[in-house]
């Protein structure tokens, strides 16, 4: 009886590990939150390996900081990584170049840019908040977007 229980627990543990790695392939009220359904993750990712998705989403700077899983890279991968780093630096320069121009944009235009509706301008104009943590986060999102393109 002990062997049957141990075998069953080992099988369930292996199934759970596979489910966590591959995700739930079924959409069901018991399985997904409304947020996951709205994003359509099950349809989009399907049976893809979520570790591969994570590695694709990890930005170049994060890979460099953690030594990128300590795997051997080919010449093509190294060249691609260098190009992405150059693209990220170019993106940072463009953000810096454009941020100072916000001071010359009329306040009413900035209020419309900050608005969440198309009918009313926001009371607070759009602008750089001046917080380095916020800018770093926005740049990180921009870098990830560029790496996916």
Same domain, 87 and 142: yes
Asked, for residue 133, whether it belongs to a domain, the answer is yes
Residue 71 confidence (pLDDT) above 80: no
Q: Which residue has the tokens 């049957």?
A: 4
Q: What is the mean pLDDT of residues 121-143?
A: 79
Residue 137 confidence (pLDDT) above 70: yes
**Highest mean pLDDT: which of 9-13, 21-25, 125-129, 145-149?**
9-13
Same domain, 89 and 144: yes
What's the pTM value of the predicted model, to 2 decimals? 0.47
CA distance 83 to 14: 40
DSSP classification of residue 106: -
Same domain, 49 and 7: yes
CA distance 27 to 42: 7
Q: Which structural domain range is residue 4 located in? A: 1-57
Cβ atoms of 83 and 77 within 8 Å: the answer is no
Of the pLDDT bands very low, low, confident and very high (cuts 50, 70, 90), residue 70 is: very low
Is residue 62 classed as helix, strand or coil in its secondary structure? Answer: helix
- The number of folded domains in the chain is 2
Q: What angle do CA 48, 28, 148 make, to 5 degrees?
A: 30
CA distance 86 to 26: 41
Of the listed ranges 37-41, 74-78, 86-90, 138-142, the least confidently predicted one is 37-41
Asked, for residue 66, whether it belongs to a domain, the answer is no
Cβ atoms of 42 and 27 within 8 Å: the answer is yes
CB atoms within 10 A of CB 60: 20
């Amino acid at each position: 009886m002990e062997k049957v229980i141990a075998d069953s627990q080992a099988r369930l543990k292996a199934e759970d590990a596979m489910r966590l790695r591959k995700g739930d392939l079924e959409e069901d009220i018991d399985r997904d939150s409304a947020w996951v359904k709205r994003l359509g993750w099950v349809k989009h990712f399907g049976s893809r390996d979520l570790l591969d998705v994570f590695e694709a989403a990890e930005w170049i700077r994060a890979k460099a900081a953690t030594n990128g899983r300590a795997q051997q890279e080919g010449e093509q991968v190294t060249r691609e990584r260098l190009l992405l780093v150059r693209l990220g630096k170019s993106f940072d320069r463009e953000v810096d170049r454009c941020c100072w121009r916000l001071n010359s944009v009329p306040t009413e235009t900035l209020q419309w840019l900050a608005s969440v509706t198309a009918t009313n301008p926001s009371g607070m104009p759009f602008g750089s908040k001046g917080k380095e943590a916020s800018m770093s986060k926005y740049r990180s999102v921009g870098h990830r977007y560029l790496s996916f393109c």
